[in-house]
């Protein structure tokens, strides 16, 4: 089987390093370019974002970076007819509009969280909120002190699930401390009782594994904007 050619965008970051490590151990994947803002002279295939036009042909780009880099990456994917998997959070309406427009030309999947547990949590939250519409709803999230956006993209997605179930958005509480990988607690509080649904990620490889799985799933798909639920329809393959 020909390996899937990957471009890793945000390669020097925490997620990028995790992706490079896991991809190197997978014979079905071949990283042809490792792009970051500054680039790095030591890694093979390393490229500064300003020279993205020099990237060799690739099948799928995996992006964990900052919103500012997204437009250039979308152009590169369109030029190469490649798919895009993005986990970058903190996107505003212009970036989401750019993703919607790009979906006419390339297959793409953006998700604020690539863990299987959070995908399941999403459904549980919707169900609980629908059953307890009058209860107070709060989302408490904790991430490492280097995370820039708040509330986290995952908290906002869980908030959408709560709002869909109960008709009202929740309150958000964001903590930034130490090296926490990511915790999300959804609390529904009634009189004399409280329901808590909690997800804790202890290793960022969870997200990297999910993104690599999705990249394999997305390669060769028709243009369109896909959802993580589409790709996780066969979760047995994600360990």
Ligand X SMILES: NC(=O)c1ccc[n+]([C@@H]2O[C@H](COP(=O)([O-])OP(=O)(O)OC[C@H]3O[C@@H](n4cnc5c(N)ncnc54)[C@H](OP(=O)(O)O)[C@@H]3O)[C@@H](O)[C@H]2O)c1
DSSP letter assigned to residue 3: P
Residue 65 as a binder of ligand X (CB under 6 A): the answer is yes
Closer CB to ligand X, residue 74 or residue 188?
Answer: 74
Out of 112, 151, 170, 216, the only residue in the binding site for ligand X (CB under 6 A) is 112
Helix and strand totals (H; E) in the chain: 7, 11
Q: Which two tokens stand for residue 186?
A: 């959804």
CA angle 228, 234, 236 (to 5 degrees): 115
Residue 122 as a binder of ligand X (CB under 6 A): the answer is no
Known catalytic residue at 173 = no
Stretch that binds ligand X, among 84-92, 122-130, 160-168, 216-224 (CB under 6 A): 84-92
C-alpha distances in Å from residue 50, one per residue of 35, 58, 73, 217: 9, 18, 11, 29
Contacts with 15 (C-beta within 8 Å, 6 or more apart), sequence order? 64, 87, 204, 207, 208, 211
Alpha carbons within 13 A on the beta-carbon side of 38: 5
Residue 69 as a binder of ligand X (CB under 6 A): the answer is yes
Give least dist CB 107 to ligand X, A. 18
Known catalytic residue at 147 = yes
Out of 207, 213, 217, 226, the only residue in the binding site for ligand X (CB under 6 A) is 207
Give me the phi and psi of 146, to 5 degrees please.
-85, -10
Residue 16 as a binder of ligand X (CB under 6 A): the answer is yes
Out of 79, 147, 173, 176, the only residue in the binding site for ligand X (CB under 6 A) is 147
Residue 187 as a binder of ligand X (CB under 6 A): the answer is no
- The footprint of ligand X (CB under 6 A) covers 9-16, 35-38, 49, 64-66, 68-69, 87-90, 111-114, 146-147, 204, 207
Which amino acids are annotated catalytic?
A: 143, 147
């Amino acid at each position: 089987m020909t390996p899937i050619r990957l471009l890793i965008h945000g390669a020097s970051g925490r997620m990028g390093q995790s992706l490079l490590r896991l991809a190197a151990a997978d014979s079905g994947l071949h990283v042809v370019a490792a792009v970051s803002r500054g680039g790095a002279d030591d890694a093979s295939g390393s490229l500064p974002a300003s020279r993205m036009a020099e990237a060799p042909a690739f099948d799928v780009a995996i992006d964990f970076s900052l919103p500012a880099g997204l437009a250039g990456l979308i152009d590169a994917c369109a030029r190469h007819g490649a798919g895009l998997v993005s986990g970058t959070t903190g996107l505003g309406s212009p970036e989401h509009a750019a993703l919607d427009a790009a979906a006419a030309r390339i297959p793409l999947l953006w998700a604020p969280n690539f863990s299987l547990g959070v995908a399941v949590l999403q459904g549980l939250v919707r169900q609980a909120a629908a059953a307890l519409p009058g209860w107070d709803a709060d989302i408490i999230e904790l991430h490492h002190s280097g995370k820039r956006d708040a509330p986290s993209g995952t908290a906002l997605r869980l908030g959408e699930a709560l709002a869909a179930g109960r008709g009202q958005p929740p309150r958000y509480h964001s903590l930034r401390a130490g090296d926490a990988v990511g915790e999300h607690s959804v609390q529904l509080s009634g009189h004399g009782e409280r329901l808590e649904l909690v997800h804790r990620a202890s290793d960022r490889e969870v997200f990297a594994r999910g993104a690599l799985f999705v990249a394999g799933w997305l390669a060769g798909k028709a243009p369109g904007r896909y959802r993580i639920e589409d790709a996780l329809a066969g979760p047995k393959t994600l360990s």
